[in-house]
Amino acid sequence: MLLKLYPDNPNLKEFRKIADILRNGGIIIYPTDTVYAIGCDINNNKAIQRIAKLKGIAADKANFSIICNNLSNLSEYARVDNGTFKMMKKNLPGPFTFILPASSNLPKLFKSKKKTVGIRVPNHFIPLGIVEEIGNPIMTTSIHDPDQVIEYTTDPELIHEKYNRDVDMVINGGFGRNVASTIVDCTTDDFEIIREGIGELIL
């Protein structure tokens, strides 16, 4: 299923349709403020396993991240000290993935041996609207293009063509970017950038 959403006048009924798919264990592809991503409800283990299989990795070893729709929502799923919170407030919503210590509210499949989680609050109405409608974060992982010249597929029509048999819905929010988020490790005293992406970190 390919669903087009318009930023000027998003249809709330469509967000309810997306939320129903996710609650029923569906997986979706959707735009973010960086690249198109694949995701599911963080509380549905079967859906997480489906995505891991699609990416060819073991779910318990995958570094999947979650999308929250604001900073207070985020603090339910990760432990954030005052200094980190202030830094994140300057940068979110935006094209960043912050690696933080996971809280006990996070489903076990998301916790790596290091007990950390990547958290995103993207500056894009579609993922934020989905999280708002479903009432909890969604899992997110970027779609990598196997072509080494083009890292990410940016055309939602082509994404649908490629993945329509593997996912329950592709959301067309226009062309995506082909550079991913900046990943910042916040588990030590220094905020270490472990992948340069679109986001320029403000300290």
Asked if pLDDT for residue 147 goes beyond 60, the answer is no
Asked if pLDDT for residue 72 goes beyond 60, the answer is yes
Note whether 179 and 198 are within 8 A (CB). yes
Asked if pLDDT for residue 85 goes beyond 60, the answer is yes
**Domain locations along the chain:** 2-195
What is the rounded distance in angstroms from the CA atom of residue 35 to the CA atom of residue 144?
9
Question: Global pTM?
Answer: 0.92
Residue with tokens 């998301």: 110
The single-letter code of the amino acid at 2 is L
Q: What homologous superfamily is domain 2-195 in, according to CATH?
A: DHBP synthase (3.90.870.10)
Alpha helices, DSSP H, located in 26-164: 45-55, 71-74, 82-91, 125-134, 156-163
What is the rounded distance in angstroms from the CA atom of residue 151 to the CA atom of residue 174?
18
pLDDT, position 189: 79
Q: How confident is the model at residue 146 (pLDDT cuts 50, 70, 90)?
A: low
* Residue 41 or residue 72, greater confidence: 41
Average pLDDT, stretch 38-67? Answer: 90
* Residue 199 or residue 58, greater confidence: 199
pLDDT per position as a tens digit, 98-126: 999 998 888 877 666 668 999 999 999 99
Q: Considering the chain, what is the average pLDDT of its residues?
A: 89
